[in-house]
Structures are given as structure tokens and as C-alpha cells.
Amino acid sequence: MIRLKRAYEPPAPEDGERYLVDRLWPRGVGREALQLAGWLRELAPSHELRRWFSHDPARWEEFKARYREELASPQKQDLLQELAQKARAGTITLVYSARDDQHNNAVALREMLQQMMEAL
């Protein structure tokens, strides 16, 4: 199971392993408060893509396509496979900072991971 949670929400036992999937650390949040199993900066969108998208829902589909292209390298695919395997074994939570809970990289990443899990 793959859950999503904003970095500003408190951790909960049902979150399982928590992974921050943003390139930048959330403002005003201490490391201890997030209770992370890892910070997966390399799976975050590039600065250029993040700026271009600017959480504009009209750009959502194009953002997902460009983000998928950014994650196509073998190294990033290996990280995605590891994350998909962890999700198959138990609950993981992708932690993000964005205010928009429907149009952010964690939502797109979960979609990609679910597709990978179906293919396994």
C-alpha cells in the first residue's frame, strides 16, 4: 500500500515507512518530526520541471509525462523498483510539501509505482 501525506501533518503508526520525495526540505519542519526512513531527492522532479509546472492543474498531464521521462534512467528505475518492492511488502508513505494534494510529484510518483507493482 502506498499512502501520501503532507510533511506538515504528524506521522502516524499506519504510515509504515515514510519517504520524503521532494528535492527541498520542507520549511519549518525538523528532521525528527518527519520520522523518515529516507529522503529520496533523486526521485524528485528537477528544479526546471518543478518551476515550469508551478502546481498549475492545466499542466498536470504534461507534468506527469515529463516527470516520467526524468525518472527513466536506469539508476532511478532501480530506486523505483526498490520502493515498489517495499510497498508490496508493507505500507509506505510518500511525504511531500506541496499545498495541492491532487497535483504534486508524490501523486504522480504513487501512480508510477502502482503501475510497476501491477507489472511485477
Give the single-character DSSP code of 28: T
Q: Are 3 and 96 in contact (CB under 8 A)?
A: no
* Residue-level pLDDT at 31: 87
Q: What is the mean pLDDT of the chain?
A: 93
CA distances in angstroms from 96 to 2, 25, 76, 102, 120, listed in the order given: 13, 9, 18, 12, 26
Comparing CA positions, the residue from 54, 86, 84, 56 lying closest to residue 71 is 84
Q: What is the pLDDT of residues 43-82, one digit of tens each?
A: 999 999 999 998 899 999 999 999 999 999 999 999 999 9
Task: Indicate yes or no: pTM above 0.95.
Answer: no
* Residue-level pLDDT at 27: 92
